[in-house]
Amino acid sequence: MNNYAPKKGTFTFTMIKPGEENQENIGEILTMITEAGFRIQSMKMIRLRTKQAEIFYRHLADKPFFNDVVKYMTSGPVVAAVLEKDNAVVDYRKLIGATNPEEAEEGTIRKRFAKSTDRNVVHGSDSDDNAAEEASFFFSMGERFNSKGFCFFGWGQ
Ligand code: UDP
């Protein structure tokens, strides 16, 4: 083991959202991610409980679509992952494309796989602070691995 924590700015957090239509594309989505230069630092499939989804999406609590987001995000398993790359948050937001897939650019994950804003296939953190918080929401430092295969101890983030 080494004793370095992953540094903010070097990683982002993603989820492949629930649904049969997404499950059948998990392999291709992960290929797009790794081909874009992201290294998978952590990954697991997990079904969120309602309380967890409410906490994860609490910044949307006053939006009319909040309950639908929580219902959808708890409707089946998600694939959660921490992705490592220089400039990870910004580059990953570029790779996933606009929230509304109709506005997403060619070559983005949402353009290729998403049918609508409320089922837009993937989540990606929108800031380094949120990436750190969201990664810790799902993964302990013992579940995050550097490129040499060692896990992190977790201080200094
Ligand atoms: N969302 C929705 N309806 C809307 C806007 C957003 O269902 O009108 C959902 C959508 O799944 C989106 C999530 O809420 O991915 C979070 O919204 P945000 O604005 O943070 O977009 P994102 O960061 O995911 O692009």
Single pTM value for the model: 0.95
Q: How far apart (Å, rounded) are the C-alpha atoms in residues 105 and 126?
A: 18
Q: How far apart (Å, rounded) are the C-alpha atoms in residues 153 and 41?
A: 14
Residue 145, marked binder: no
Residue 110, marked binder: yes
Residue with tokens 């639908």, as numbered in its chain: 68
126 lines ligand 1 (CB under 6 A): yes
As a whole number, mean pLDDT of residues 36-51 equals 98
Question: What ligand 1 atom has the least distance to the C-alpha of 17?
Answer: 11
The predicted-structure confidence for 62-85, as pLDDT tens digits, reads as follows 999 999 999 999 999 999 999 999
ipTM for the complex shown: 0.97
Q: Which amino acid is at 1?
A: M
Q: Could you give the residue numbers annotated as active site?
A: 123
Q: Which domains does the chain have, with CATH numbers?
A: 11-143 (3.30.70.141)
Distance 35 CA to ligand 1 centre (A): 25
Phi, psi angle pair for 136, to nearest 5°: -70, -25
99 lines ligand 1 (CB under 6 A): yes
The predicted-structure confidence for 75-120, as pLDDT tens digits, reads as follows 999 999 999 999 999 999 999 999 999 999 999 999 999 999 999 9
Q: How far apart (Å, rounded) are the C-alpha atoms in residues 99 and 1?
A: 38
The predicted-structure confidence for 10-43, as pLDDT tens digits, reads as follows 999 999 999 999 999 999 999 999 999 999 999 9
Question: 7: alpha, beta or left, given left = phi > 0 and alpha = psi -120 to 50?
Answer: beta
